[in-house]
Amino acid sequence: MSLLLLGISHHTAPIEERERLALPEAALPQALKLLAEQAGVREGLILSTCNRVEVLVEGAAEPADLLHFLAAATGGAPLPAPARFYHLAGEAAARHLFRVASSLDSLVVGEPQVLGQLKQAYAAAVAAGTIGLELETVLTRAFHAAKRVRSETAIASQPVSVSQAAVELARQIFGGLHQKTVLLLGAGAMGELAARYLMRQGASRLLVTNRTLQRAQALAQKYGGEAFALDQLRQHGELADVIITCTGAPQPLIARADAAHFLARRRGRPMLFLDVAVPRDVDPAVHQLENAFVYNVDDLDQVVHSNLAERQAEALEGEKIIEAELSLYLQRRQARDVVPTLRALQTQAEAVRLAEWERLRKRLGPLSAEQEQAIEALTRSLMQKWLHHPLVEIKEASSSADRQALVELAHRLFGLPRNSE
């Protein structure tokens, strides 16, 4: 199996480093095209979320190739230290993908967003034509595993996420959301979820702004809020008690001076900034202002702690499902691996049989139909009997290493053509 995965995530790097690598949705087609052009890359997928940037390829690429690709795709900015990246191959890469899809590798285990993000990444790769049979197989299986983990464990019954963190922080700062105004800045999925949750928890007013006003208006209409253009942020920002930001902007949209301006106009009433964007939308210096509290995605696990132990127990159940799904995937994957070999063996045997039979027929001269049939049956049965044991051995080898060895052996012993795949 020639899967290779290279990534950086919240486990290995802080947000300051991750945000330099983030690839916004709009940049994906270009990046995928670039990825497909890399030497040794036959199929490829790019997953870029708040918490991780991962590149999954099928082919003969090396981790260093993917690092070069990332550097090129993100505009040649200096990459984080190589130690920040992990790279996994074959089975390990598949397992990692399954765990990511099932939210077992997430900052907030059990959060539902990552699966949607992976599906979007898949759709983008399909659109860019970089998905082939191999990635199709492993991704389909990963989605299936994620679905099983969600439905068969209680991992998602505590939908712990930005939304809950927002509610908890609002409780600590404002005592609750009653009579509070929420401003949603950007139209990202995570922000939308959080805003909807806050409204359900009793926030009284929702304001929405976005780079494209229509999108903001659509969102505002959906949740009974009011929309305004992004360039009016400075006028309206002060109205918000809670600001949720989730744009794909490369630079912070709320600078320290903006926040200071809001706070002065609010006469010091506190403001909570929930920055779920990567790269960040709120200048971290805003947190230093009196009465301003800025929490980014990395701070989330600090905020949400409820039922951590329970969720860990559920995560263990999830891991078991992942292993089961993984072995199923590997079996099918490997069964498919040996098919060309089996077929080549049979084809070769048949070719030999036919060739020998032709030679014999020339020497013997005309034969009766009965004789022809008898010889045909004899040779065929000889070949089948002779091949039966090797074929079964290869097909049912217990481990992948065994199977690989047998396939290799078959190729050598029978002189099978090399590029049978």
Partner 1 sequence: MHSLLQFSLLWARVALGFYLAGLAAAIAAALTRQRGLQDAVFGLARGAVAAGFLFQFVGLAETLAAAALGPATFYRIITGLLALIIAAFFLMVYRAYSPRTLSLLVVPLICVLTAAATLEPSGAHGGPSPMAQSLLHNGWIYVHIALIFLGYAGLVMAVGSGVLYLIAERALKAKSHPLSPERALPSLEALDLIGYRSLLVGFPLLTAGLVIGAYWADALFGGIALSDPTVLLALLAWSVYLVLLFARWSAGWRGRRSAYLSLVCFGLALAGWFANGLSRMHSLFLR
| Catalytic annotation, residues | 50
Q: Look at residues 221, 224, 220, 218 and name the one whose alpha carbon lies nearest to residue 184.
A: 220
Is the separation of the CB atoms in 29 and 90 below 8 Å?
no
User: Angle at Cα 85 formed by Cα 79 and Cα 90, nearest 5°?
Assistant: 135
Work out whether 268 is an interface residue with partner 1 (CB under 8 A): yes
Choose the stretch contacting partner 1; rule: CB under 8 A; options: 67-75, 204-212, 300-308, 387-395: 300-308
Residue with tokens 């999830």: 318
Is the separation of the CB atoms in 282 and 252 below 8 Å?
yes
Q: What is the DSSP string of 141-192?
A: HHHHHHHHHHHHSSTTSS--SHHHHHHHHHHHHHSSSBT-EEEEES--HHHH
Give 122 or 174: the residue with its C-beta nearer to partner 1.
174
Give 142 or 294: the residue with its C-beta nearer to partner 1.
294
Work out whether 267 is an interface residue with partner 1 (CB under 8 A): yes
- Among 86, 293, 357, 414, which residue sits at the site for partner 1 (rule: CB under 8 A)? 293
- Among 76, 290, 389, 419, which residue sits at the site for partner 1 (rule: CB under 8 A)? 290
Residues 163-192 binding partner 1 (CB under 8 A) are 168-169, 171-176
SS3 content of the chain, % helix, strand, coil (to 5): 60, 15, 25
Q: How far apart are CB 200 and partner 1 at their closest, in Å?
A: 20
Query: Does residue 279 have a cis bond before it (omega within 30 degrees)?
Result: yes
Give 14 or 176: the residue with its C-beta nearer to partner 1.
176
Residue count at the site for partner 1 (CB under 8 A)?
Answer: 24
Q: How far apart are CB 175 and partner 1 at their closest, in Å?
A: 4
d(CA 4, CA 19): 23
Give 241 or 314: the residue with its C-beta nearer to partner 1.
241
- Among 98, 197, 295, 329, which residue sits at the site for partner 1 (rule: CB under 8 A)? 295
Is the separation of the CB atoms in 379 and 356 below 8 Å?
yes
- Among 91, 299, 319, 350, which residue sits at the site for partner 1 (rule: CB under 8 A)? 299
Residues that bind partner 1 (CB under 8 A): 168-169, 171-176, 264, 266-270, 287, 290-291, 293, 295, 299, 302-305
